[in-house]
Amino acid sequence: MRVQVLSDDVVNKIAAGEVVERPASVVRELLDNAVDAGGTDICVELEEGGQTLVRITDNGCGMSADDAVLAFERHATSKIRSADDLLTISTLGFRGEALSSIAAVAKVELCTRTAQSALGVRVRMDGGKLRDVNEVPCNCGTTVEVRHLFFNTPARKNFLKSARSEVQRIKAWISHTSLAHPAIRIRLICDGKEMLNLPAVGDAFARARSIFKGDLKCFTCPLGEVELSGALGHPGMAQFDVNAFVLLVNGRVVQDKMLLRAVKEGFDSTLKEREFPIGFLSVRLPACDVDVNVHPQKSEVRFRNGSRMFAVTRDAVLKTVRAMSGATRTESKLVGEFSKADSWRPQSDAFQQMSSAVVSQSYEQTGLFSQNLAYARTPELDDSPRMPRFSDLRYVGQVMRCYLIGEFEGALFVVDMHAAHERYNYNLIRRAFRQKRVESQQLLVPVVVELGAEGLLRCMERAEAFAAWGFEWEAMGEGALVVRALPAFLQASHAVDIVRDLAAMSETEIPSNALESAIDKIAARLACHASIRAGRELEREEAYALFEALDSTDFSAACPHGRPVMVRFSAAEVQAWFGRDR
């Protein structure tokens, strides 16, 4: 077969295949152009999920007649002039592929007018071919209509999802990208029905509170030429959906596995393996330090210094998560700080008696973070109700032998005593191991644990490593283990459950001879066994002592598994339960 040059028609359709996957791709490209044009009011209209019609209207700068025609040529763009410009890209659209690629597989009409022109221009394209150009009256700005997507490539059309699925995809993407452009009003209308109306707001935090449900902890972190900001939901709000968390780099929605992993590590072991937090992270850095030209759809980026970005992202998120030191609120759109007012301190050792030896240990905070991490404050945040420290609560009592009821300034608080104690113990256990201060206790009577052949093999392979945690054991027979020593903070009565739990941890959780890499997971297991269990009735002094201990630790909003420690119910909510709001 002879080599031949492909026709322009085939070339354009191949290019369109890289840029235009579905209606959502069309919306993304055209909305980027509308933002770059300076639009402050953008409307997206769909029919049949965008398969029949995608119309995007903006009030931006518009184009001249010559530019409107030239914009449909391949690689025609106003954003770059030379190869050097690719190193400092600051706009969303820059490849010059969007209009030509879309026009190659659809019927497109563009109407545009600049403020200096009395009339606008209408350009119509049909399957990549220019149909006509006319002067028309129209508003200042640009409207692009894309009809019958993939009408000339039916095989591509067969791979499209349902209209409902496409609408949800587009709605999510518009919501996500609006976080980078809070000053722009964006609407989405589907088959004549308004599905989304995001008015212009003061900042990304205000936008986030209109998009994400529940409490959000907002932060800003200036680090020289790099600035991180974002809003994080409580670990208990996490979802099994990677799209629950939005990553923005220089105002662009991206998919970046490294950044996402840094965010998850910043949640400090409170997320399950396949869980993802709610919220967003925005990274602003010099354009020369990030390459956005690595993916046809501009959805991926590459950092000049990836390891530094990973570290600062993880640390900023961890600092913010650890500042979640109080209740998860049942009311949505409420974000607040916690009071630092003095409160009553119990003068007894009830909590030390109730807890294990680990509770009485005291360690300084690790100081992982720089002092220039500051939390963003907005009027909405400042108007939120004052939140208490745990020891500010007036203890009311215990219900279901598990939940501690407290009151503060007219609001009702419910504390999960096991989750609370588990979080406190987890922090101390993990810190003690990292500081090599784990004490071991010899058992007066060694404990025999039946594990089976596989469990015994795992424990014996890890025996030396677990000795650093205060464990001492040896094999007895084919499937049994003799435990002779435990960490001092664990009770001998729990030895069987603890060792079986550790033996069940798979190779992915604890790689052989790499115990230190699994500190968080092991500390979480041990903290669970060392903590008070549901079913125990606490004395009032013990409850207050637990509250005080929680105030002394660096993160107390969630247990190591991500479950909330405390939940808040406002007076209005309680009154509504009984119809007193009517």
Q: Report which residue type is found at 517.
A: S
Q: Which residues contact 38 (CB under 8 A, 6 or more apart)?
A: 60, 61
Q: Residue 571: pLDDT above 60?
A: yes
Residue-level pLDDT at 384? 53
8 A C-beta contact, residue 402 and residue 417: yes
Residue-level pLDDT at 13? 57
Residue-level pLDDT at 302? 80
8 A C-beta contact, residue 39 and residue 60: yes
Residue-level pLDDT at 340? 41
- pLDDT band with cut points at 50, 70 and 90 for residue 388: confident
Q: Can you spell out the DSSP letters for 287-342?
A: GGGEE--SSTTS---EETTHHHHHHHHHHHHHHHHHT--SPEESSTT---PBP---
Nearest residue to 398 (alpha-carbon basis) of 511, 541, 254, 495? 541
Q: Residue 222: pLDDT above 50?
A: yes
Angle subtended by helix axes 519-530 and 417-434, to nearest 10: 130
Q: Residue 150: pLDDT above 70?
A: yes
Residue range 102-141, pLDDT digits in tens? 998 999 999 999 999 999 999 999 988 899 999 999 999 9
Q: Residue 409: pLDDT above 80?
A: yes
* 444-448: long-range pairs with CB below 8 Å, 24+: 444/492, 445/492, 446/482, 446/483, 446/484, 447/482, 447/483, 447/492, 447/495, 447/496, 448/476, 448/480, 448/481, 448/482, 448/483
- Lowest mean pLDDT of 3-12, 276-285, 313-322, 420-429, name the range: 3-12
- pLDDT band with cut points at 50, 70 and 90 for residue 377: very low
Stretch 252-269: mean pLDDT: 88
Q: Residue 385: pLDDT above 80?
A: no
Stretch 371-375: mean pLDDT: 29
Residue-level pLDDT at 396? 94
Residue range 17-60, pLDDT digits in tens? 556 888 998 999 999 899 989 999 999 999 999 999 999 999 99
Please tell me the number of Cα atoms within 13 Å of 253 on its side-chain side.
21
User: What domains can be seen in the chain, in order of their start residue?
Assistant: 8-198 (3.30.565.10), 204-324 (3.30.230.10), 332-582 (3.30.1540.20)
Residue-level pLDDT at 288? 81
Angle at the Cα of 106 from the Cα atoms of 102 and 108, rounded to 5 degrees: 80
Q: Residue 324: pLDDT above 90?
A: no
Residue-level pLDDT at 35? 92
Stretch 208-235: mean pLDDT: 90
- pLDDT band with cut points at 50, 70 and 90 for residue 92: low
pTM of the predicted protein model = 0.67
Stretch 423-436: mean pLDDT: 81
- pLDDT band with cut points at 50, 70 and 90 for residue 380: very low
Residue-level pLDDT at 338? 28
Stretch 2-12: mean pLDDT: 62
- β pairing state of 480-487 and 185-190: unpaired
Stretch 257-284: mean pLDDT: 88
Q: Report which residue type is found at 17.
A: G
- Lowest mean pLDDT of 164-178, 320-334, 556-570, name the range: 320-334
C-alpha 540/C-alpha 21 separation (Å) is 62
Residue with the larger pLDDT of the pair 357 and 343: 357
